Amino acid sequence: MKLKSLTYVLALPVLALFTAGGLNDDGRAGRTGSPGETTCVSCHDNFALNSGGGSITLSSTNLTGWEYIPGTNYHMVCTVARNGNSLFGMGLEALTTANQNAGNLVITNPASTQIKTATVGGVSRRNVVHTLNGGVGNGSKAFAFDWNAPATNIGNVTFYYAGVAANGDGNDDVGDHVYSGSQVVTPAAANSVEEFAGPGQLSVFPDPATDHFNIAYTLTTGRNIQVTLHDMQGRMVRELIAAPRSAGRHVEMISGLSDLGTGTYILRTALGADVRTQRIMLGVLR
C-alpha cells in the first residue's frame, strides 16, 4: 500500500495545497505481512515496524470469541491509530492454513475501502485496502467491511493486516509509521452451528441472558434490520440495531445491557416488513 501526494504548481489558494492527505494513492494489495508478503514498511521505511506509539487493531461487532459459524456474515472493523496523524491507510486478507482465500471480503463503505488483488505463490489473494483519500481521520481511522465466512468448516482462518499512520507530506520515507498484526479465527463448536437459525428462522441466545445476547437470522435478500427492546408495557427502552444488511446468514451480538434492570423484556426484530416479537429474560444469571 502506498500513500503519495501529488503537488501541482497552480494558482490555487494556499489552503488547497495543505488539506489533510491531498490526492493520495489508493491502497496496494499484498502488503499485509501474511506468508510470502511484506508490509507497508517496504515503502514507508523511515521508522521500524510497530514503533512510534501507534497501533492497528481488528474487531467485530458479532464475531463472538473469534469463532466463526460457516456461511455467516460478520461485521468487521480495522482501526489504525496514532496521535497527531490525520491520514491513514490499511490492507487486510483472510487466509486458510494453506494460504488460500478464506470466505469472502465484502465492501460496505466504498468511500473508504475497496477490493484489490495480489498474486502470491500462484494465488490471487483478495485484499480490503483504503481508497483514494479514504483514510482521512483525526488521530485514528476505523475501516469497516464485512466478512462472509466459508460455507463449510475449513478449519482455522487467519486475518493478516497492516496499516500506515501518515503525515500526508508526499514523502513515503519521512514521518510515516507502519503497524501490522494478525488474528486467528476458529470454527465454532458443532452445537453452536446447530443452534444457528435456518432460512426463514430467527433465534435469540442465550436466554436467559446477563448483559449480552445474540440474534441469529438468515436473509434471502438484502434489507434493513431494526431491533428494539421494550418493557412489558410496550414502551421502548433501547434501540439496539438500525442498519442495512446483505443477503446471507447473520449473527448480531447485542451487548452493554448491564445497566437495565433484571426482568422480562420484549424483543422486537424487524427484518424489512417481517416483524417478530418475543420475550427475553435479562439479568437473571447475575
User: How confident is the model over 204-241, as pLDDT tens digits?
Assistant: 888 888 878 888 888 888 888 999 999 888 889 999 99
Predicted confidence at residue 18, as pLDDT, reads 28
My answer on whether 200 and 178 are in the same domain is no
My answer on whether 183 and 107 are in the same domain is yes
Tell me how far apart the alpha carbons of residues 34 and 94 are, in angstroms, rounded to a whole number.
Answer: 9
The answer, yes or no, to whether residue 4 has pLDDT greater than 50, is no
What are the Cα distances from residue 5, in Å, to 40, 120, 172, 253?
16, 28, 9, 40
Tell me how far apart the alpha carbons of residues 129 and 21 are, in angstroms, rounded to a whole number.
Answer: 16
Of 190, 218, 253, the last residue of a domain is 190
pLDDT tens sequence across 184-211: 999 987 544 445 555 557 888 888 888 7
Number of domains, the chain:
2
Specify which residues 277 forms β-bridges with: 268
The answer, yes or no, to whether residue 143 has pLDDT greater than 50, is yes
Of 151, 171, 190, the last residue of a domain is 190
Q: Mean per-residue pLDDT for 260-269?
A: 90
My answer on whether 233 and 178 are in the same domain is no
My answer on whether 186 and 201 are in the same domain is no
In the block, residue with C-alpha cell 487493531: 57
> Which three cell numbers mark 95?
487466509
Indicate which CATH number applies to the domain containing 92: 2.60.40.680
The answer, yes or no, to whether residue 257 has pLDDT greater than 70, is yes
Q: Mean per-residue pLDDT for 73-100?
A: 96
My answer on whether 142 and 234 are in the same domain is no
User: Does any domain span residue 6?
Assistant: no
The answer, yes or no, to whether residue 3 has pLDDT greater than 70, is no
My answer on whether 112 and 33 are in the same domain is yes
Predicted confidence at residue 23, as pLDDT, reads 32
My answer on whether 54 and 154 are in the same domain is yes
**More confident: 49 or 20:** 49
Indicate which CATH number applies to the domain containing 237: 2.60.40.3080
Among residues 225, 224, 227, 203, the alpha carbon closest in space to that of 214 is found at: 203
Predicted confidence at residue 191, as pLDDT, reads 47
User: Does any domain span residue 4?
Assistant: no
My answer on whether 238 and 222 are in the same domain is yes
Is 165 in contact with 177 (CB distance < 8 Å)? yes
Question: What range defines the domain where residue 123 resides?
Answer: 14-190
The answer, yes or no, to whether residue 62 has pLDDT greater than 80, is yes
Predicted confidence at residue 16, as pLDDT, reads 27
Of 155, 171, 190, the last residue of a domain is 190
User: What's the whole-number average pLDDT of the chain?
Assistant: 83
Q: What is the value of pTM for the model shown?
A: 0.71
pLDDT tens sequence across 13-39: 322 222 333 334 678 999 999 999 998
Tell me how far apart the alpha carbons of residues 105 and 95 are, in angstroms, rounded to a whole number.
Answer: 11
My answer on whether 151 and 207 are in the same domain is no
My answer on whether 139 and 261 are in the same domain is no
